[in-house]
């Protein structure tokens, strides 16, 4: 009953297998391994983007920070949601990698809207050289609150960015979960929707630690390579990043694991909905949900061994009816039995 | 016959096994995995340093850059050899992580001497606020030319640093190879020799991608953690870094692989020495050697399938007798048969 | 009728005189001029701070950025008002000088309150190593909307900062105007009110270009000096900064010019208040006011030659009654006659 | 008898006069003053560069750092002399402004030669993504040892840079002194000689604190403006920078003061040459010379009140005959009588 995060589960056996399979003989380091050539081709095919530049790094923060730094000048500002991972959970990594750019928060929700985005962009850079200059728009898909932008919503946001000539980055740490939710193609959700660069996350979806960064316009490919090296994110034994990604891509494993996680989460959401006193905060759309639940219920679940984060309030407290907000994230590996056990504990 | 680098060989099966073993159930991320607690304790024991702060990252450049940045202010300069990896091969990563510190080159050899170090330190910071301020001394052990500082040499260098109140960092990408060469204890080669922080490399010695950074004075431990996170080097699925390190430490695997690589390299050096027209440039002491060899010999070896870097000169050229310099690095996995095959090809 | 800014007026004749007087013979550069010794002593006396470190720079942005960078680590965030000059008008200079720190906005007004400040601080750093760490609180006095924090308000804000162990910086670009408004001593408004470092602005109040930075705790004095030099803000012919400051301090010139500017602004505010259709947005407290005025009135004033910024709306437009917001700033040199002429034009 | 530096003398009366003259009424700040339009035009005319972007800053370090940062990426290295001011005397300001670029030292003299430059460039960037990438070449004219590159020498150096597609920056802190020495036009010594950007120094030559940065290719003009603002070097009361520069340019004052300083220095050099035991280290070409002189002579001069730096050795010591190296710099304001008094004291 581990719902704390999708980075806490095991690596998918097929990824482990792919690592073992790559572990033969000698291979040039630093991205010159033959496996990387395959990765590059497969990702270009998958995204219908024959010219895209494709790179691998080991952490989501590296993917986000390196991609944003490539799109952003130090005197610019990145437009993002106030709950964006890049703003709240990366200890200023985007500021570090960009050389001191700013992040400007759009609206007060996890999902930006075209109106809040346009208004925020308009508010910046009305002071010539004095204010921060307008920089890239960063969209998290799935959002940090578990919601998925529809293709229409994406188009509307990127249209606003294009009005102002701003590039668009998609933080796809949970790319596969979003894609499964939308049922569209990777191209539909990215460059066809106006996205210039995307991170294609593997770590939260069954890999050990690998994320692809895809630049649909390869003009800055070499700059990205230099930034990756300078950031100490170019792996010498790179083939083991490649191998993970190959295992992830093979036979659509990446979509299967995401589908499993989403389905588990749906099962959990449906179960929670039926519980008295429980209110879901956002429409469940992928593998993460938030719910208000009475303290007594939280206590019972924790006593039963359930693990998850309480994001508002604290178990310590007297009032058993006080509502505390919980975040539940379903890892690819969580079985329906875990959900059922959890719901059973909740109902006791 | 692959002598190009010790980052090109396979991962040791026991490391792969350790990864598979760690791949069970759920574990908290970001270094809070139970395996990391074991790693910390084992490294403290190994280094006889019960208070040391111990962290894992995935690349050697990350280990070097984060450790140096923790020891160095942006207005200071790092004293290092002119062929130091941090100077020549990290695309300005130390400058990036330190926020713009300088590197000041000591002498014109791979090994610094107390005299060249003292003189170089004296030459800096004679201009008050105007010049770069004196910062840490960085020592690579094994050096980038395959040489090993003796304990006496280390003591002499760190004594100079201490005269000026400067901290000492040891780039231990090939720590195990040096330790095997010296036959001393990890404590002897580090804090007992005046070293304040060290990277304990795993990647070049049989791991997939893991380096420990050890701060003997834990005063800056939290700062290091923040720098690691901000640098995007904190792994969410951290247990797979821990697992590699556990496998590496278990039953002294790390010393066995280094010993094997050093022995292979000695065999290679001895064979090369007997070849006419071949001159070794440095006394072979660990798992890397440099040799001047006639172009015709290089050509024959390349035709036979040997892989290694020519670091001075180029195969293209007419004169068969012109001496080109080669670098040979022996991976832990290289067998004596590979060396013998190479030497046989050379003798043909 | 120039109300656009207090950086657009002439330098006070006594400052010019002080420059001419300093222009004799030779003096050591880089802050070693004898005038600087006088400046240091006079400012320590004025602030009743015998140990304070005192430095001069030429721009307000340099004063703010260098002081904040000295108080802030790159992984921290600065708490400030959403209209703070450091956030809106310095093109990411604080981010640059701090090495990539973040700015976290407090509340939605120019004046922070203890409640909004405490809540904002509480919201940060609940995520351990992941979120930005709490850093200094920056208070602008006079605020960017022309308001002055009372001593009680200052004490209340700095108490919140102290609860969390955070240092407090005061952006005193209009320090003298605030002091005149409060009628207290410089010590009262700074270290006695819990302020750790302050910029004491001269440029907007009759000088050519000089700001003092005062660190009440001199522990980081040398670091500040190195940051100033590294930022290229250490003047070689430093005596001309010192001379400006000496002229500014002599016979309380700095308070006289601020008093004059404040009085002019009061006269303007009183006149505007009597005009039909005009509404002042904030209580006028120093030398800057904001007013909503109908477009037709703006047009008449502009036709009459008045110069000021319209900060919301634009002259272009059809509706003569639409309210546009204006900002009026009174320079020390503006005479009552200018105000009267302006009001006369407004009344026509 | 003040020979310590050309930043220690008074400001030329005509510059003071120009400041007083500019001190009338109101002017828009931040470079929008009408004086700046005149400066821009006059400098374009002077350099025969009608499209050049022209900016003013207050310190030489700011001019160098901002210009280099505009020409250099953070992963590149700047090629410069080992005694370059940017390397030795700016406390890592170029590293700070460039976001962590490196400086690679060319040869072991103050003057780079085409051969040392080409060899140094060839040595860099032979390691693909791993090494620092080749960046701009920085030439100091007058060099830090008082020597002047001839036009032929400049052409030869910039040709090497062009071979590799590298931009060339000229640190012209003593531009006027060099121009007087060469007797050529500003265009001859800059863009016609292959220089892409130059700082045109005023501070060391009679101004209070002003340097022009001239970008012959205006493509990066806006970037420079943003960097200047972000670096806190955009003056609000900018007209006083403009006024200094206007006074400096008027009637060729800048060449007159440089000529005076050079002539004084020649007189000094000729006098020193005739003294027994004195050896000039470099051919005197502008307003700075270095000489080896016996300790006893130094002592006598210091006792007589002469002020200058001893750059090698120290007055403290027993041997009256030991040679200590002195640096003598002649300010524009130093009269022949000062030199004669100095030489008389030396001869006593």
D226/A130 touch (CB, cutoff 8 Å), yes or no: no
Find the CB nearest B133 among C130, C226, C234: C226
Q: How many angstroms away from the CA of A225 is the closest CA of chain D?
A: 7
Give the ranges where chain A is alpha helix by DSSP (H): 13-22, 34-46, 60-71, 85-88, 93-98, 114-123, 151-163, 175-182, 186-189, 221-230, 239-249, 253-273, 295-303, 336-347
* Partners of residue D234 in chain C, C-beta under 8 Å: 59, 61
Yes or no: say if C77 and A102 are a contact pair by the CB < 8 Å rule. no
Q: From chain C, pick out residues whose CB is under 8 angstroms from the CB of A90.
A: 130
Q: What is the mean pLDDT of chain B?
A: 97
Nearest to C130 among B75, B99, B229 (CB): B229
Asked if the Cβ–Cβ distance from D88 to B127 is below 8 Å, we say: yes
Cβ contact B129–C73 (<8 Å): no
Contact yes or no for C74 and B99 at CB 8 A: yes
**Arithmetic mean of pLDDT, D233-246:** 98
Give the residue ranges of chain C where pLDDT is below 70: none
Q: Give A19 to chain D, closest Cα distance, Å.
A: 26
Q: Search chain A and give the residue with CA nearest B205.
A: A237
CA A309 to chain centre: 18
Q: Is A273 on the interface with D (CB under 8 A)?
A: no
Task: Decide if A16 and B20 are in contact by the 8 Å CB cutoff.
Answer: yes
pLDDT of chain A, 348 residues: tens digit per residue: 899 999 999 999 999 999 999 999 999 999 999 999 999 999 999 999 999 999 999 999 999 999 999 999 999 999 999 999 999 999 999 999 999 999 999 999 999 999 999 999 999 877 899 999 999 999 999 999 999 999 999 999 999 999 999 999 999 999 999 999 999 999 999 999 999 999 999 999 999 999 999 999 999 999 999 999 999 999 999 999 999 999 999 999 999 999 999 999 999 999 999 999 999 999 999 999 999 999 999 999 999 999 999 999 999 999 999 999 999 999 999 999 999 999 999 998
A208 touches chain B (CB under 8 A): yes
HEC profile for chain D?
Answer: CECCCCCCCCCCHHHHHHHHHHCCCCCCCCCCCHHHHHHHHHHHHHCCCCCCEEEEECCHHHHHHHHHHHHCCCCEEEEECCCCHHHHCCCCHHHHHHCCCEEEECCCCCCCCHHHHHHHHHHCCCCCCCCCEEEEEEEECCCCCCCCCCHHHHHHHHHHHHHCCCCEEEECCCHHHHHHHHCCCHHHHCHHHCCCEEEEECHHHCCCCCEEEEECCHHHHHHHHHHHHHCCCCCCCCHHHHHHHHHHHHHHHHHHHHHHHHHHHHHHHHHHHCCCCCEECCCCCCCEEEEEEEHHHHHHHHHCCCECEEEECCCCCCCCCCEEEEEEECCCCCCHHHHHHHHHHHHC
> Cβ C101–A90 below 8 Å, yes or no?
no
pLDDT, mean of residues D162-183? 98
Looking at residue C348, its pLDDT comes to 81
- Residue C299 has a pLDDT of 95
CB contact (8 A) between residue C230 and residue B75 = yes
How far apart CA C81 and CA C186 sit, in angstroms, is: 23
Of A30, A75, A227, the CB nearest to D230: A75
Kindly report the nearest CA distance between residue C85 and chain A, in angstroms.
9
Pairs across C and D, CB distance < 8 A:
145
CB contact under 8 A, C23 and D5: no
**Is this complex scored with an ipTM above 0.85?**
yes
CB distance B29–A5 less than 8 Å? yes
Chains adjacent to D (≥3 CB pairs closer than 8 angstroms):
A, B, C
Chain B CB within 8 Å of residue A99 CB: no
pLDDT of residue B256: 98
Cβ of D320 under 8 Å from any chain A Cβ?
no
Reference D26, options A44, C331, A140, B70; nearest CA is C331
Report the run of H or E that residue B168 belongs to, with start and end.
Answer: strand B168-171
On whether any CB of chain B is under 8 Å from the CB of C139, the answer is no
Look at A99 and C98 and tell me if their CB atoms are within 8 Å.
Answer: no
Residue-level pLDDT at B241: 98
Which of B4, B8, B96 shows the shortest C-beta gap to A230?
B96
Within a 10 A sphere around the Cβ of C331, how many other Cβ atoms?
25
- Say if residue B125's pLDDT is above 80: no
Cβ contacts (< 8 Å) between B17 and chain A: which residues?
A: none
* Domains of chain B with bracketed CATH: 13-253 (3.40.640.10), 254-347 (3.90.1150.10)
Give D-chain residues touching C99 at CB under 8 angstroms.
Answer: none
Touching check for B4 and chain A: CB below 8 Å?
A: yes
Helices B114-123 and B151-163: crossing angle, nearest 10°? 20
Residue matched to tokens 């440095």? B282
Find chain B residues with C-beta within 8 A of D127's C-beta.
Answer: 88-89
Q: What is the tens place of the pLDDT at every residue in C13-44?
A: 999 999 999 999 999 999 999 999 999 999 99
Touching check for A59 and chain B: CB below 8 Å?
Answer: yes
Q: What is the DSSP letter of C144?
A: T
| B21 interfacial to chain A (CB closer than 8 Å) | no
- Chain B hits for A16, CB-CB cut-off 8 Å, are 19-20, 23
Q: What DSSP assignment string belongs to A122-138?
A: HHSS-STTSSPEEEEEE
Q: Is A100 on the interface with C (CB under 8 A)?
A: yes
* Residue B228: predicted pLDDT: 98
Q: Categorize the per-residue pLDDT at D32 as very low, low, confident or very high, splitting at 50, 70 and 90.
A: very high
Set of chain A residues whose Cβ sits within 8 Å of the Cβ of B24: 10
Whether residues D131 and B101 touch (CB distance < 8 A) is answered with no
Closest-CA residue in chain D for B134?
D91
CB atoms B75 and C133 under 8 Å: no
Q: What pLDDT does residue B90 have? A: 97
Q: Which of C100, C105, C135, C314 to mutate to test the interface with A (most CBs of A within 10 A)?
A: C100
Of the candidates A5, A11, A236, the beta carbon closest to that of B59 is on A236
Predicted confidence (pLDDT) at residue D304 exceeds the cutoff of 80: yes
- Report the pLDDT averaged over residues D205-215: 98
**Does residue D77 sit at the B interface (CB-CB below 8 Å)?**
yes
Whether D129 and chain C come into contact, CB under 8 Å, resolves to no
Q: Out of C4, C90, C232, whose CB is closest to D62?
A: C232
Flag if A231 and B231 touch (Cβ within 8 Å).
Answer: yes
pLDDT in tens, D47-93: 999 999 999 999 999 999 999 999 999 999 999 999 999 999 999 99
């Amino acid at each position: 009953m581990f719902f704390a995060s999708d980075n806490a589960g095991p690596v998918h056996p097929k990824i482990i297998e792919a690592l073992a399979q790559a572990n033969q003989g000698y291979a040039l380091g630093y991205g010159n391994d033959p496996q990387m050539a395959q990765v590059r081709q497969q990702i270009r095919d998958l995204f219908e983007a024959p010219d895209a530049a494709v790179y691998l790094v080991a952490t989501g923060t590296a993917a986000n920070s390196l991609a944003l730094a490539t799109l952003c000048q130090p005197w610019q500002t990145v437009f993002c949601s106030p709950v964006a991972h890049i703003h709240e959970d990366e200890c200023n990594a985007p500021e570090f990698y960009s050389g001191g750019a700013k992040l400007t928060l759009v609206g007060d929700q996890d999902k930006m809207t075209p109106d809040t985005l346009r208004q925020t962009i308009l508010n910046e850079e009305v002071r010539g050289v004095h204010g921060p200059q307008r920089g890239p728009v960063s969209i998290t898909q799935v959002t940090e609150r578990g919601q998925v932008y529809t293709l229409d919503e994406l188009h509307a946001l990127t249209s606003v960015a294009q009005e102002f000539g701003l590039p668009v980055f998609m933080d796809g740490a949970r790319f596969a979960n979003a894609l499964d939710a939308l049922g569209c193609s990777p191209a539909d959700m990215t460059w066809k929707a106006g996205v210039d660069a995307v991170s294609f996350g593997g770590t939260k979806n069954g890999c050990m630690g690998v994320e692809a960064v895809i630049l649909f316009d390869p003009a800055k490919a070499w700059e990205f390579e230099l930034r990756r090296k300078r950031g100490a994110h170019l792996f010498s034994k790179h083939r083991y990043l490649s191998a993970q990604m190959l295992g992830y891509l093979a036979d659509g494993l990446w979509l299967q694991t995401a589908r499993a996680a989403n389905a588990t989460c749906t099962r959990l959401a449906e179960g929670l909905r039926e519980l008295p006193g429980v209110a879901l905060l956002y429409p469940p759309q992928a593998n993460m949900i938030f719910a208000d639940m009475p303290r007594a219920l939280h206590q019972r679940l924790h006593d039963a061994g359930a693990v998850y984060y309480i994001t508002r309030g604290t178990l310590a407290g007297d009032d058993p009816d006080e509502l505390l907000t919980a975040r539940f994230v379903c890892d690819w590996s969580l079985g329906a039995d875990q959900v059922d056990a959890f719901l059973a504990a909740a109902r006791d």
